[in-house]
Amino acid sequence: MNGSKMSVILRAMVAAATLAGALVLVTTALADLTAAEEDLARLFAGQPIIANSDAGDYIVRGKDLVPGQAVRGQVRIKNTGKGVGVLYVRPRASLDTPGPYHGELSQKLVLTIRRLDRDDRPHTVWKGHLGAMGKVRLDVLKPGAVRRYRFVVRFQTRPPARAYSNDNRFRGSRFTTNFVWTLVPLR
């Protein structure tokens, strides 16, 4: 399918859940706590807090994808607090912009989230169409625990007899979403 244009942009966001609600943290690396994060840690002493290696940045970005093609990205999440928490991820503010042939990419893009263990072996924790993704439970994080997740977005194909006519309608379409990470205290 020459000339097909399709864009995928997935952004990482981070949130720390507490008994009082959700708090958005803007972090860019797993490094020593900044002054603002130290204040936050004192405010929520004993609670889990997330540090996200790609907060506010792209996890996955693709342009001019064709059916069957995939794009990949990786993120590291760390519990910098003092409590144990359950880690969740969900899409937020998704925008499905059809191209001139009215194809909505959210129904064609398949996201696979894989947790990478210490030996870089992947374990699939979620797979499905981006348009159907809700809140996904990923793991339980103890204080200081770090998890790495690989995101793979594949432009799904159809059987060859219908592939061109069906997939061609997605030409020029675009899909973007943010991901919100929450760490809910475990009691």
pLDDT-derived band at 167, boundaries 50, 70, 90: low
Examine the pLDDT at 5 and tell me if it is beyond 80: no
Is there a contact between 122 and 39 (Cβ–Cβ < 8 Å)? no
Domain limits, the chain: 6-185
DSSP helix, strand, coil percent of the chain (3-state; round to 5)? 15, 50, 35
Averaged over 31-42, what is the pLDDT? 49
Examine the pLDDT at 106 and tell me if it is beyond 60: yes
pLDDT (tens digit per residue) in 114-162: 999 989 899 999 999 988 899 999 999 999 999 999 999 998 876 544 4
Q: What is the mean pLDDT of the chain?
A: 75
